[in-house]
Structure 1
Amino acid sequence: MKIHKLITKTEELADLCSRLAKAEFVAVDTEFMRENTYWPELCLVQIADQNEAAAIDPLAQGLDMTPLLDLLTNNEDVLKIFHAGGQDVEIIYNLTGKTPHPIFDTQIAMMAISQSEQIGYANLVESWLGLTIDKGARFTDWSRRPLTDRQIEYAIGDVTHLAKIFPRMLKRLIKTGRGEWLDIEMESLADPENYRNDPSRAWRKIRAPSRNPQVLGRLKAIAGWRELEAQDKDIPRGRIMRDETLADLASNPPAKQAELSKVRGLSQAWSENEIGKRLMRTLRDAEPLPHDEMPAKTPRGAPLGKEGALVADLLKLLLKIRAREIDVAARLLTRSDELEALAAGVRNLPVLNGWRFEMFGRDALELVEGRLAFAVTDGKLQMTHIDDTADSMAETE
């Protein structure tokens, strides 16, 4: 494989992307910094097909990234391969307003062919290629220039290994017949709505303190305000205010600015500074949350009672058994909160649709409805369908 150490010129990048545009797939990775900023700072992009690989320096003076961004977001003929690519996709969306498509994530794919829940990149490489990744450059400051040869070699390795792993992984997926399972997962990963930064929706990511429309209205208002403050200052939102503090303010808003000094998580300065004034203004202007924006009533997180909790535990046991039987990550089939909702009577759930229903949901529903039981035979745990047992008894009679 031909390795281009570091591309810093637009013409070089355009030539590379022209060649890669003819490939069946490209492996992509990014290095970025976001510890001290609201927006992640893209510091390096690595890309490879089966013939060549390169690192691209987006911080290079005069470099136009358009050829690369066009390849990733506008070329539907080239499959884009990532590993745990959510943050990489977010960065590309922030730059272009589009997401890479079509897309394939090897971490998600591993869940369909093994019981690995969220396999890390180093473990992926070791399991498929038998190589040990040098983690020495993992926590480097990618914004510093010049980059060392070791940094560039480490970074390019992320995509050269991925370009070797993907064809092998694809063969296994084809053999198992589970490739179609991943279509929905990959489309979800590429959905631009997952990355659209809308301050008016920021409150939905915070644990709601109640279902009171006035409380939720204040939560929505100050969560949106925090996003705008953080964007304006380009600092992480948590440096403006932590989620817990937001929830406290929504539930117990102070009557005047001087009382902000008593709020957990805020300093004395908030009681008299300009940001404190803006916060108080936001709280005063907050409207009750409209009825059509109220979160749906679901049993998620609600007490199930002793019987319901027991059913949820049985469902989790069934999930472990089924995941082991078909060698798939339990997380790909469903999650604990969904099982608790099922135990509590909810039926409009992903696990009761499509391939998930065929692989697990049907048995889960039968367990909840009393048509599936566990039994121990010869020291091994087995599942017994009640209808089948009744039919067998009728035949013996």
Structure 2
Amino acid sequence: MGHSPTPGRNTGPGITVVGGGLAGLTAAITAAEAGARVTLHEAHHTLGGRARTAEGPYALNDGPHALYRRGPHWDWLRQRGLLGPLANPPLHEAARFRFHHGGALRRIPPAGLFALARRSAEQAPVDVDFLTWATERAGPATARAAAHYVAVALFHHDPGALSAAFVQERLRRAAALPPEARYPVGGWGRLSERMAGHAWNLGVRIEASSRVDTLPGGPVVVATSLDAARRLLKDDGLRWPSGRTVLIDLALRTRRGDPFVVSDLDAPGWLERFTAQDPSLAPAGEQLVQGQIPIGPDAPRAEGLARAEHLLDLGFPGWRDRTVWRREALANGRTGAVDPPGTTWRDRPRIDRGGSGVFLAGDQVAAPGVLSEVAFTSGITAASLALKSLAGVPVGDS
């Protein structure tokens, strides 16, 4: 459904945004705030992209989602009143954080893991893999455990093989104390709804169920997945590695003593009971557990599901008999960019597509940040460059 812009507002030259996820909404808001006339096209019937929250009794996100409060998007959202109510990690549940290590479920991780996490990313080299660098500083066992722990911020089957600087930045933030993570109450869909409402109030024309197959004239921000951007722009060079992750969602009848988190340190994997911090995500008497198990590019989905079920057996006794609802999915290339050794975010596909008036935004392009922060940062940059293009100013991102 399409919405006309507010009469009398933003009636100047136009910018088109293709994609209504976090990157597209950020780009649309940034451009509209500068006075541009903005039209946003979204192929799905609802906005939000991978930040959508399922409708129905279980408010499920498409994989684990959290806002890191020290990220650049935090202030951007706060300044516009878009953060909304947020849930903190439940401190009273801290004792229910479990680590799968050495084949058993444990209450504490290896002693050196959090000491390693305190090192700054600047101390880690770009051109060496994380496992090699971390092994020299903490020993092989702790290095492997740390690589597997940080998979929650990578969604990748072999974090140790990635750039040390890239992984260390994510390890430091994922293991920060007090935790950086905050959770939009009611699911991430509430955040994208607030952003969409703000865009509407700024005069953005929103066209849902509107698939764009041919680029319109004027500056265009392509804020889709990299695969979709490659097809739309007919540019086979738009490629960058991402993760492949099995997702499992369960609604379980409540049982006292269930853990808040099970972190797999023997292999990449993570289970989280999201109703611990936000009970509104499931009906009373039920709890929502979500897991992500990264698997290799050729591994069958069944391998990830078997590992998830093994973690559930250890951490959630009787979970099979308590399951009232279950969903499984495979997230392939939808988990954000990962940087191999010798590369940084600057080596990813450029936002400015070479003076053509086309600009990329999303979580796999050349912008800094962790997880969704890349989408926000690239959306702001793409919109700023599109505004310059609209004004006839030569552009170029760095």
TM-score higher than 0.5: no
Q: Could you say which structure has the higher helix fraction? A: 1
TM-score (norm 1): 0.21
Structure with higher strand content: 2
Return the structure number with greater relative CO, CA threshold 8 A, min gap 6: 2
